[in-house]
Structure 1
């Protein structure tokens, strides 16, 4: 590993920021590595452009979108 980033986001960040509703689906843990962490070295899609995160352990709604949390609670 030489520390050089060789991949690309594939448009993930562009789609998330331009959409009216951004829903990210991912496992909470991949192998032994958590998907959701406090700090990152490289940010491809900022959390501010993610509205809902769906994992195998539950659903998290961005606190900036309380209307989405209300609609999910109403839907049951």
Structure 2
């Protein structure tokens, strides 16, 4: 997981945003959930799938996985 984000051919604006947040390798982003990653400005599905593939995650999660990730980030009151 030492792949540099520059090697994934991300848009320059997204790359700048990730560097501003302190992420330089895919390993730096390993602790983020799917929902938290997709909330980064400029992050779209195509770029998330590139990062997920480099991290060894499933790039096409099921709806159940997405809902579980969402509930972990935003617990219902």
TM-score by length of 1: 0.30
Larger of the two Rg values belongs to structure: 1
- Between Structure 1 and Structure 2, the one with more helix by share is 2
